[in-house]
Chain A
Amino acid sequence: MAALTKEETEALIQEVLEIYPEQARKDRAKHLAVNDQSLEKSNKCITSNRKSQPGVMTIRGCAYAGSKGVVWGPIKDMIHISHGPVGCGQYSRAGRRNYYVGTTGVNTFGTMNFTSDFQEKDIVFGGDKKLAKIMHEIEELFPLNKGISIQSECPIGLIGDDIEAVAKKANKEINKPVVPVRCEGFRGVSQSLGHHIANDAIRDWVLENRDGDETFATTPYDVAVIGDYNIGGDAWASRTLLEEMGLRVVAQWSGDGTIAEMEKTPKVKLNLIHCYRSMNYIARHMEEKYKIPWIEYNFFGPTKIAESLRKIAALFDETIQAGAERVIAKYQAEYDAVIAKYKPRLQGKRVMLYVGGLRPRHVIGAYEDLGMEVVGTGYEFGHNDDYDRTIKEMGNATLIYDDVTGYEFEEFVKRIKPDLIGSGIKEKYIFQKMGIPFRQMHSWDYSGPYHGYDGFAIFARDMDMTLNNPCWKQVKVPWKTAESSNVAVAANA
């Protein structure tokens, strides 16, 4: 199908909105837009980070998901207590595939679920005593933990427990960082506020721990990788490139990261931000307090990788700049072969995305390297600054949707008929049943890594494997086969 013109796309939006009652239609209209590259600022065309309408199907998460699931959870040598009833922690346990090295249950705890398992009596009489007891139990059972974080679930805020006091007391008793995080799920409109709260907790309880301690030997090439959650090994694929060009990666935030790395981050020379949405707060704080500059980079697809490596290298001396060129040259044969193999199979295919964080704009380059085109994109919980950065990446007259509802997304897909959709698990089976190839782009559909040159090869293979899978020709509802329609005609006769 040929690409839609600007007018057609606008008409499509109007058509989809028609079904809503007036109030909801007015609100949703602000969240859907046709991309116009000439705009400098997204607030001219789209509204974001607003409360979802009651009654529509949104796929957003909560503040607890943003803090425990995204920012704190991957820190492997700390124990993160899901403080409150057992479900929040258990149903989100290990789902994000933040890989790490270590022996789970001994010195790393990433895929385990620790919870205070609130019962009725804890709600009635408060859970502070139980929390204090848990700290000592943890110390006894898991002595190699390097710290504890308390991730509040909704009831903690509702009953007004003083987790800060418990944390301070426990910190003195066990002599390890104990971080209370006020990330109750009801705060904010999406997981985005959870990221912010988690960043603020790191700022207040972790970053200052080594202020004035100069025993850590620094080099002029120290950097920290911030906002890479090592999904399927992403951070490792990124880290090797940075190290090959001569930089020293002091800290990984927070995929495969440790509390010690976080405490050392104020000593680095440059912060590299991959997921801007979830970690820009702490980068801005470090810039102000420790005068550490930060830049955003993008390690999806060879074009963007080369661009990013050169951008990073430009902030260092000639050895690093030569290093960047060396790295790009070294992998060129490898990624040229990937493109030569998969581009002919994927050329001209059209993709619609709907994910969170950085991916709605970052992966566009990787698709373009494979000759594919992204015709629609949107953020679950993006803010205006995300859309500012997206407008230039997307083609003119393409669709942009913020916090899209289940209904809207389905209708857009029916009309635009993309060849591939990249979104989350809640959308996956709907679209697969509609006969459209689908990749779950939150945790790379149980594959990965997708970052770096190594990741690009896997990305290309996965897209080809999904798109050109012969099974899509078999997806047909039984009453629509030639044979059954003959039967129906015969029955009617």
Chain B
Amino acid sequence: MPSVMLKKNAEGKLVFYVPKKDLEEVAESIEFDNHDKWGGEVLLSDGSKYYFEPLDEQPDFPVTLRAKRLD
């Protein structure tokens, strides 16, 4: 359950940062990315997958959230 810092980059894509692992990756896809629902499975450009508990609204980026590693 790493803490993940999420922010939007200049192109509006989601950037995924895990401080302890020096992992800085762009998110390729997010399962739910709507105004009223956000989260689910996130696929990173290096192929790894993480899971966020879906939220009822889009968080205000940058933000730190807990994620679960899937693989």
Does residue A288 face the partner (Cβ distance < 8 Å to B)?
yes
B19 and A41 contact, CB distance less than 8 A: no
B46 and A41 contact, CB distance less than 8 A: yes
- Knowing A41-B46, A284-B5 touch, does A383 contact B22 (C-beta < 8 A)? yes
B46 and A287 contact, CB distance less than 8 A: no
Report whether over half of chain A's contact residues are helix, strand or loop; otherwise say mixed: helix
Other-chain contact of B17, A284, A291, A388 (Cβ < 8 Å): A284
- Which of chain B's residues 29-44 have a Cβ closer than 8 Å to chain A? none
Residue-wise interface mask of B (17-31) relative to A, using a CB-CB cutoff of 8 A (1 in contact, 0 not): 101001110000000
Other-chain contact of A288, B5, B24, B46 (Cβ < 8 Å): B5
Residues of chain B within 8 A (CB-CB) of A49 are 22
Residues of chain A within 8 A (CB-CB) of B70 are none
Residues of chain B within 8 A (CB-CB) of A288 are 5, 7, 62-64
B19 and A287 contact, CB distance less than 8 A: no
Give the shortest distance, in Å, between B46 (CB) and chain A (any CB): 7
A49, B23: Cα distance in complex, Å:
13
Give the shortest distance, in Å, between A437 (CB) and chain B (any CB): 34
Give the shortest distance, in Å, between B17 (CB) and chain A (any CB): 7
Residues of chain A within 8 A (CB-CB) of B7 are 287-288
Residues of chain B within 8 A (CB-CB) of A384 are 22-23
B62 and A287 contact, CB distance less than 8 A: yes
Give the shortest distance, in Å, between B41 (CB) and chain A (any CB): 21
A384, B17: Cα distance in complex, Å:
12
Give the shortest distance, in Å, between B45 (CB) and chain A (any CB): 8
- Knowing A284-B17, A288-B62, A288-B63 touch, does A388 contact B5 (C-beta < 8 A)? no
A407, B36: Cα distance in complex, Å:
59
Residue of B nearest to A383 (CB): B22
- Which of chain A's residues 377-410 have a Cβ closer than 8 Å to chain B? 383-385, 388
Give the shortest distance, in Å, between B2 (CB) and chain A (any CB): 15
Residue-wise interface mask of A (257-290) relative to B, using a CB-CB cutoff of 8 A (1 in contact, 0 not): 0000000000000000000000001001001100
Give the shortest distance, in Å, between A288 (CB) and chain B (any CB): 5
A211, B7: Cα distance in complex, Å:
23
A49, B20: Cα distance in complex, Å:
11
Residue of A nearest to B60 (CB): A291
A288, B63: Cα distance in complex, Å:
6
Residue of A nearest to B24 (CB): A385
Residues of chain B within 8 A (CB-CB) of A284 are 5, 17, 19, 62
A41, B17: Cα distance in complex, Å:
14
A385, B5: Cα distance in complex, Å:
15
A284, B46: Cα distance in complex, Å:
22
Residue of B nearest to A44 (CB): B46
Residues of chain A within 8 A (CB-CB) of B64 are 288
B19 and A281 contact, CB distance less than 8 A: yes
B22 and A385 contact, CB distance less than 8 A: yes
Residues of chain A within 8 A (CB-CB) of B19 are 281, 284
Give the shortest distance, in Å, between B6 (CB) and chain A (any CB): 9
- Knowing A281-B19, A284-B17 touch, does A388 contact B24 (C-beta < 8 A)? yes
Give the shortest distance, in Å, between B42 (CB) and chain A (any CB): 18
Most buried by A among B5, B23, B62, B64: B62
A122, B62: Cα distance in complex, Å:
45
Residues of chain A within 8 A (CB-CB) of B62 are 284, 287-288, 291
A200, B24: Cα distance in complex, Å:
20
A287, B62: Cα distance in complex, Å:
7
Residue-wise interface mask of A (353-389) relative to B, using a CB-CB cutoff of 8 A (1 in contact, 0 not): 0000000000000000000000000000001110010
Chain A interfacial positions (CB closer than 8 Å to B): 41, 49, 281, 284, 287-288, 291, 383-385, 388
Chain B interfacial positions (CB closer than 8 Å to A): 5, 7, 17, 19, 22-24, 46, 62-64
Given contacts A288-B7, A385-B22, 11 further A-B contacts (CB under 8 A): A41-B46, A281-B19, A284-B17, A284-B19, A284-B62, A287-B7, A287-B62, A288-B62, A288-B63, A291-B62, A388-B24
- Shortest Cβ-Cβ A-B pairs, 4 listed: A383-B22, A384-B22, A288-B62, A385-B22
9 contacts between A and B (CB under 8 A): A281-B19, A284-B5, A284-B19, A287-B7, A288-B7, A291-B62, A384-B23, A385-B22, A388-B24
